Amino acid sequence: HVQLVESGGGSVQAGGSLRLSCAASGGIFSTHCMGWFRQAPGKEREEVATIDSKGSTSYTDSVKGRFAISKDNSKNTLYLQMNSLRPEDTAMYYCAARPNWFRSRCYNVPYNYWGQGTQVTVS
């Protein structure tokens, strides 16, 4: 059973930075796609960034150059470094995982396991 626990959200002024963390069940990074998603009130959930088992990343256009997804295999932790934050980045941010036994793409695909979310508010 995959468990994901996010942390690191909070309130920040526009232009500031936050780093989100996601503690994952041990060993899943080698066999799972990992991703960060967000959902703002009244809006659909949006894929923000993904990373595959080899470390290849993808980003939605609105965060390219500002956000960076990474993972630390030794700590079983996924990160999202968010810089130059904007009010439109305000949302609940979720960590997610998807089994990827056949090394297919990790972006624009359904994810199976989700954390409880961490709130990011930019004013």
Whether 1 has a pLDDT exceeding 90, the answer reads no
The pLDDT of residue 96: 98
CB count within 10 Å of CB 91 equals 21
Residue 73 is given by DSSP the state T
Cα 44 to its chain centre, rounded Å, is 16
- Write out pLDDT tens, residues 4-34: 999 999 999 999 999 999 999 878 999 999 9
Residue 25, token pair as written in the block: 């069940």
| Continuous H helices in the chain | none
Tens of pLDDT, residue by residue over 26-55, are: 789 999 999 999 999 999 999 999 999 999
State how far the alpha carbon of 105 is from the alpha carbons of 6, 21, 45, in Å: 23, 23, 19
Helix (H/G/I), strand (E/B), else coil: 121? strand
